[in-house]
Amino acid sequence: MAQVLEFKLPDLGEGLTEAEIVRWLVQVGDVVAVDQPVVEVETAKAMVDIPCPYGGVVTARFGEEGTELPVGAPLLTVAVGAPAPDGEAEGSGNVLVGYGTSQAPARRRRVRPGESVPAVPVEVAGVPVAGSAAANGSAAGREGVEGPVPVISPLVRRLARENGLDLRELHGSGPDGLILRADVEYALRAAAVQGRTAAPAAGTQAPAAPSPTAPSARISSSAAPAGIRVPLKGVRGAVADKLSRSRREIPDATCWVDTDATELVRARTAMNAAGGPKISLIALLARICTAALARFPELNSTVDMEAREVVQLDHVHLGFAAQTDRGLVVPVVRDAHARDAESLTAEFARLTEAARAGGLTPAELTGGTFTLNNYGVFGVDGSTPIINHPEAAMLGVGRIIPKPWVHEGELAVRQVVELALTFDHRVCDGGTAGGFLRYVADCVEHPAVLLRTL
């Protein structure tokens, strides 16, 4: 006898708590094999294909494309063959971080093959929704209002709190009535359409209906501005959260210097003219950075505030900013200090291509110890970069352009670039930061300086 098993959104690692369904790879009624990818999701860090640990027939899918689900929410159900002798269905166990298949999943309502499972609308404190339990007046429609609020995601709680929305007045569309972010956003939209405030807390009296001459009510304490609203989610949301945290926690400072890059440009041209693999300019700058970090290890560190310690790291995992259609991402070149210019060039190219295709893994987007930001590709000269938390510094590189420059006592046209270093003032003072930046500038102006460290 077939057994219907439920496959939940696994823990994707790196502290991720939710993911958005980008594309279903299977339909209801399809036969899937063990470890076959069934859905493509987008997390705050990368696009991931999720394999199913069960083999059988897909009987239901949970969530349409574009729906955001929390970790642990059902993805699909699969009808498999007879269970193994120990009473558990066969599974590969080869899913993703934190998701095991050794225990039988919780039993839930079975869904007939071919039955669509759209996201369930929520009732917003008196705003009826067609097809909902509340619209039918059933008691089941009010289950979960009393007692603990079924919410997992802290983002959902914060969104509701910031907009004055009482979660106890919502009926979640997730498993077992779990309230999702989509439920809160729907509630806020419905409240706005009705021209009223968010639901009052349980036990309080709802405000009287406004008179025709009264000003329209607001969702939050301040008037909601008109205009296009773009959700801060996915990569954009992750960038917003990380940069905000950096600004809150890191007392940063920036120093900069104009540098004559003529000799570095000539050196690269000569290297590429000699035959063999081409060397990129960013690879040469990365090589200079790793040499500078060997001299000034304070800038290749992180701060442990709980222990009140600065942790100087013995390896350089070099992040670099890459602009993609999905937003800004920072791929990480592992063990950059152990790579030569040719290896760095190849790895930069590989990670950049993967970033543009949306194929970077979470491991390729985390663990950086220092970041190189080449914003010169956007045609700008300078910037004051925000440190990529929990790192301690970032080197910014502007565009290289011809400028008047005093060279060997005479005015000449040289290739000039502005270098900017933003650093965590907890790990070092200006003398160390200035020494690092000056060494980088010296290597750019006189590439032979770098040979002393090789």
- Rounded to whole angstroms, how far apart are CA atoms 33 and 58? 10
52 contacts 32 by C-beta, under 8 angstroms: yes
For the question of residue 425 being annotated catalytic, the response is: yes
Question: Which helix (H) or strand (E) is 420 found in, with range?
Answer: strand 410-424
CA atoms of 310 and 298, how far apart (whole Å): 8
Both tokens of 349, joined, read 């190219």
Say whether 424 is catalytic: no
- DSSP bridge partners of 4: 79
Q: Is the dihedral of CA 255, 260, 263, 269 positive or negative?
A: positive
CA distance 174 to 172: 6
Q: How many separate helices (H) and strands (E) can be counted in the chain?
A: 8, 19
Taken in order 346, 348, 352, 355, the sign of the CA dihedral is positive
- 70, 67, 30, 68: which is closest to 52 by C-alpha? 30
Q: What is the CA radius of gyration of the chain?
A: 28
**Which residue in 304, 335, 340, 429 is the catalytic one?**
429
What residues have CB less than 8 Å from 418, skipping those under 6 apart? 256, 257, 258, 259, 381, 382, 397, 398
Cβ neighbours around 161 below 10 Å, total: 11
Task: Kindly report the length of the chain.
Answer: 454
Q: For the range 155-159, what are the long-range contacts, defined as Cβ-Cβ under 8 Å and sequence gap of 24 or more? A: 155/17, 155/18, 155/181, 156/180, 156/181, 156/183, 156/184, 159/184, 159/185
Q: Phi and psi of 428, rounded to 5°?
A: -165, 170
Specify which residues 52 forms β-bridges with.
Answer: 36
Q: Which amino acid is at 231?
A: P
At 50, phi and psi to the nearest 5?
A: -105, 120
| Phi, psi angles (nearest 5°) of residue 339 | -105, 150
Residue 340 tokens read as 């030569």
Q: Which residues contact residue 248 at a Cβ distance below 8 angstroms, ignoring those fewer than 6 apart?
A: none
Residue 30: helix, strand or coil by DSSP? coil
Name the catalytic one among 176, 315, 407, 425.
425
Catalytic residue list: 425, 429
